[in-house]
Structure 1
């Protein structure tokens, strides 16, 4: 495929070009450098302006899910645990079998087992590499993944690692590492065409201002995300109702990687009807994330309370599983509700357990009331259509919880375990249960917040080889020489739902592989 004419500009040559400045792309660039490619021979390009550097990784909490052997295995890589604190921590090991089972279970066993194995088997080494190579400031995620119960920090849900300052810290560490390696980034530089010959990738055409520039290279790593920021593509693949979802992260992930790769015969794989979504502040921006509040628009306190739609009805089992395993699919359920929004509700039993970074006074609009009737009146102003149905929902729920407590007087509420505190007793039960963490919502003051669906990334993407991250050809199912892929653009790994913290880990695992393989093609 020939490149368009380039006026007044000489072609430039690189050994590796990475498309995308986020976590996965940065891992690929740094891995290529570590594998012997000089920093001056590696180029990162991104169509975003510099102030939007980092892709979706910038908007995360920095969580990395990894196999580990327990607390002792992680103490050497985290920066927020002293000896005294370590004695107060309860943390079970997280095995390869558990990680694999979590991905497969949440994906209804549709995930590509070879891709899953690559991520799981590479997870701990990738975390270690991020510490050693990128100086990633890992922390134990007390604020998001542990509850203080009886003086003990009890971790839950298999996920224990985050990064200081969340996604901002992730991208800051990468930018410093790239600078130290002498790797340049061109912003405002969209890739518009891959140059492909008999021997594989030969270069990429980019837009630089008003000019098209041909960059020659034997290796291109695509790490430019999915299509979640494209209203048109969301409607085409996910359904018309997804056009009203709020974009959690960068507005620049509009499917460019799919277009570039398929134009030279790359294969598509995965769940093009599925995506990662979550409970998101209804007052957040619609078309892009907020660079200051970033992940603080997440509203993940629903397991401790209730969620009701505009009709005043519950629609999911808020206590079905730990939040890590339900938030991605509950975001989708919120979008399907009337108006595409719902209300999260709590009373004074649990308000103190809500995380400040998501529910602080400066972060979210809080709706307080002293009685259920007052709460219903205030929610009517925010879009509640049936005040009486909301009051019946609360009454039915409270009656079921009280009946269960009466039948199970020895059971104790514990947010750090799946405690079995339920609405499903022998004398009363609900059509939609709350399977864990069920307490009466009857103690004033009452609190509500309005939430919508925030879309993070799409699950459908490019087919890759699990060992090399090479993009596969649709016609031959063999690797396209010189073309690699990592990050959210990888297809076939997640279906329908996903375990929290797996995305950044997968981006690192396949980014490292892509960089290593790209270095081997250096001429």
Structure 2
């Protein structure tokens, strides 16, 4: 085998891995190698397929204005988002299961990470008007805590990273899957990678795993998430197949977190099944359900579409769709809702929609799309409309707040399954329907890490304090980290976490280098 020597090896070319590599250089590593199993045309991992959303603690509009390029102060109505808010959101949607130490690390490091991404990576942040705000009283009113995106979404994010990697002298190998971790008595000392048809040994004091989850592996999805997940549609890269977890098995690395959970969402039912589209990327998302209703093939509603802001429900509603007969559902609106739908998700040429002037005509057309019970569909819509008809609903309706406009105001018409907010009757034709499936983004189970250093922990414990023993020379960031998300996910937290732990891993790698031989 051919041998190579570097100061730090990063496995994976996505957002988190790029943050780790650049952080390592800035902290003192002179020779950093990024190893990626995908070909160069698939660079960027899942980060490329995102909208670039970053959730961060901030003090309000003027705190963020130095980092955004698309706004003047007069256009925006934005509340501060505190550390307490961010912490509460992760813990609330995660049923209080997330690791407090990991949550604190992400929350406390979020604002500094945004500044670092802007200044060190050259990422151009914008306010996410089209995704996270509605015009109220002439101003863009933000809702749901998440306000920042990247110019040109994930494409812009990864383009900025690639420029920064080149600027910082990081070497990148594509088409080079890592097949083994090299170890010595004191931990990991490098990797074996397959390159140009041969296996090569690459040595470094520090190795950082940023290889993503197992969402693109049908067998692992079925094993850990359940049999239904074999039919979920992969939103991002087809190369996240759980290889990183296979690599650490011989080391006794501690697995933790929600191995039965994942980030999923409402996804175009006609999207490709096994990978995202590099052109349309996140445009297959179909997030307009709070403005309408969702019905399954039996003509029945199955979630409270207005339970909370989309940021806090889309990850679990993707799972709910997958659990329906056939693993898909219909999203339904009238003219009142359609005008608020995002053009990039629902525009002409982006989505296949079905329209009709009456509910009867609509139900008949949906039979060809798989509707099994047209009469039940019509009855469900009539019952919903009766429950949603309130004298003052139109005046109180406000998509930028949880407005309390629900189906439950009248004891005689209230529904067994409510719509708790934004429940206007769907009675102004033409009616519009889009068929959606479940798109899987990333899996929640992963490796246990030290929240301060991002070092991977083992199953063994120390004799003195019974704490897990760190594995020497091995660090982790991105979607391979376990214990941060359970059951559900606050939108925009994943990219922020990848940056926070990527920076920590890079700095830890440099400290290891400066401390001399282990």
Normalising TM by the smaller chain, what interval? over 0.9
Aligned mates of 2:70, 2:475 — CA distance in 1:
36
Q: For residue 44 of structure 1, report the CA deviation from its aligned partner.
A: 0.3
Question: In the alignment, which residue of structure 2 is the partner of 1:419?
Answer: 403
Aligned mates of 1:76, 1:493 — CA distance in 2:
29
Partners of 1:411 and 1:421 within 8 A in 2:
no
Q: For residue 112 of structure 1, report the CA deviation from its aligned partner.
A: 0.4
2:242 corresponds to 1:255: yes
Please list every run of 5 or more consecutive structure 1 residues that lacks an aligned counterpart in the other structure.
1-5
1:472 to 426, 436, 457: 457
2:113 corresponds to 1:126: yes
Aligned mates of 1:176, 1:268 — CA distance in 2:
34
Could you give the per-residue CA deviations for residues 448-484 of structure 1, whole angstroms, max 9, x where no partner exists? 0000000000000000000000000111312111100
Give the ranges of 4+ consecutive aligned residues of structure 1 lying more than 4 Å apart after TM superposition.
408-411
SS at match of 1:353: coil
Q: For residue 439 of structure 1, report the CA deviation from its aligned partner.
A: 0.7
Question: In the alignment, which residue of structure 2 is the partner of 1:242?
Answer: 229
Q: For residue 73 of structure 1, report the CA deviation from its aligned partner.
A: 0.2
Question: In the alignment, which residue of structure 2 is the partner of 1:512?
Answer: 503
1:23 to 4, 8, 15: 15
Aligned mates of 1:411, 1:258 — CA distance in 2:
53
Q: For residue 410 of structure 1, report the CA deviation from its aligned partner.
A: 8.5
Aligned mates of 1:240, 1:189 — CA distance in 2:
31
Question: In the alignment, which residue of structure 1 is the partner of 2:464?
Answer: none
Could you give the per-residue CA deviations for residues 172-200 of structure 1, whole angstroms, max 9, x where no partner exists? 00000001111111000000000111122
Aligned mates of 2:280, 2:336 — CA distance in 1:
27
Q: How does 1:70-469 map to 2 (within 5 A)?
A: 70-82=60-72, 86-402=73-389, 405-406=390-391, 408=392, 412-427=396-411, 428-469=413-454
SS at match of 1:207: strand
How many residues get paired?
507
1:12 to 4, 10, 15: 4
Aligned mates of 2:61, 2:268 — CA distance in 1:
34
2:28 corresponds to 1:43: no
Aligned mates of 1:217, 1:368 — CA distance in 2:
59
Could you give the per-residue CA deviations for residues 25-45 of structure 1, whole angstroms, max 9, x where no partner exists? 00000000110112xx10001
Question: In the alignment, which residue of structure 2 is the partner of 1:490?
Answer: 481
2:493 to 487, 496, 502: 502
Aligned mates of 1:410, 1:352 — CA distance in 2:
15
Could you give the per-residue CA deviations for residues 338-362 of structure 1, whole angstroms, max 9, x where no partner exists? 0000000000112110000100111
Partners of 1:200 and 1:218 within 8 A in 2:
no
Partners of 2:393 and 2:405 within 8 A in 1:
no
Aligned mates of 1:93, 1:210 — CA distance in 2:
53
Q: For residue 409 of structure 1, report the CA deviation from its aligned partner.
A: 6.2
Question: In the alignment, which residue of structure 2 is the partner of 1:3?
Answer: none
Aligned mates of 1:310, 1:236 — CA distance in 2:
27
Partners of 1:278 and 1:454 within 8 A in 2:
yes
Aligned mates of 2:410, 2:239 — CA distance in 1:
52
Aligned mates of 1:451, 1:280 — CA distance in 2:
5
Question: In the alignment, which residue of structure 1 is the partner of 2:465?
Answer: none
Question: In the alignment, which residue of structure 2 is the partner of 1:57?
Answer: 47
Aligned mates of 2:186, 2:510 — CA distance in 1:
16
Partners of 2:12 and 2:45 within 8 A in 1:
yes
Partners of 2:394 and 2:424 within 8 A in 1:
no
